[in-house]
Amino acid sequence: MKLRNLILLGIASFTVTAIWKTPASFAYQYLPHDNVQLQGLSGTIWKGEADELISKKINLHNITWSFNLLKSLSSFSLKTDIEIQDTELTVKGLVGINMAQTISLDHTQVETTGAFISKMQKIAKLNGDIKGNINHFELAKGELPELEATYQWQQGTLIAPIRIQPAGDYAIRISPSDNGLDAKISSNNAPLALSGTAKIDKKWQYTTDIKIKAANASAKGTMNILRMAVGKLEADGSAVIKQKGQLKPFY
């Protein structure tokens, strides 16, 4: 091998090694972190951990990541196994991003609480445990996400904008269709019996067909509130929510 090629090979090997061993704390100081900050960084950018993630709305603890070489090479994107072990949120799965900035999640499990979700938005206040199993999620800029997942709200109660008690179990299953996404909604041992579907197509047009019925006497007051919202109840005492609308891309 020519001396020139040996020198180039040596430089390339040194560069790869230097990048691979770059400390996470060293790389972090050159990244924009106005909205999100990491503290207690250790390890490298490829395999490391952070004691705390701080943003305007949440603080999360015990975050670890590990670059997945095989998955990255087979998908032509950066794939990283990530785990969060916080008292309010646990996440374990495979996170990815490619050159087009398409974001993905695969085989990801999420566990949190209604109280944590309540802090993230102002629409509703919830109690109970929430579990998500995300088989596959992919979000490209300007496009409808691809999503195959199930979410369970266990022993859930709604505190606001209306109060729904006692606690019950609710579930939603989201799957891809030829024209977009389909969601099936159900309940089990809950004061409100929920069933129906929600759909959104690739043009971000959505439709809902959801039936809500009192499963026991404790929910009759809630049904009276729903009657004011939907106009009237069906002959069997249920409320049917059929709506259409237009959403906009959020990424």
Q: What does the DSSP 8-state code read for residue 23? A: B
Domain region containing 182: 100-246
Domain count, the chain: 1
Residues whose CB is less than 8 angstroms from the CB of residue 90 and which lie 6 or more positions away in sequence, other chains included: 84, 109, 110, 111, 112
Residue 66 falls inside a structural domain: no
Does the pLDDT at position 8 exceed 60? no
Q: For the segment 146-196, what is each residue's pLDDT rounded down to a tens digit?
A: 999 999 999 999 998 888 888 999 999 999 999 999 999 999 999 999 999
Decide if 75 is inside a domain: no
Specify the pTM.
0.86
pLDDT of residue 94: 97
Q: Give the pLDDT score at 26.
A: 58
Within a domain: 116: yes
Mean pLDDT of the region 12-16 = 43
Residue 251 lies in a domain: no
Residue 28 domain flag: no
Least confident of 7-21, 132-146, 219-233: 7-21
Residue 231 pLDDT: 79
On the question of pLDDT at 12 being above 60, the answer is: no
Residue 7 has pLDDT above 70, yes or no: no
Q: Is residue 43 part of a domain?
A: no
**SS3 per-residue string spanning 114-148:** HHHHHHHCCCCEEEEEEEEEEEEEEECCCCCCEEE
pLDDT attached to residue 45: 84
CA dist., res. 65 & res. 96, Å (int): 12
Q: Is residue 7 part of a domain?
A: no
CA dihedral 152, 57, 85, 165 (to 10 degrees): -30
Asked if residue 239 has pLDDT above 60, the reply is: yes
Report residue 40 as tokens: 């207690």
Query: Would you say residue 48 lies in a domain?
Result: no
Mean predicted confidence (pLDDT) in 103-114: 97
Confidence of residue 4 (pLDDT cuts 50, 70, 90): low
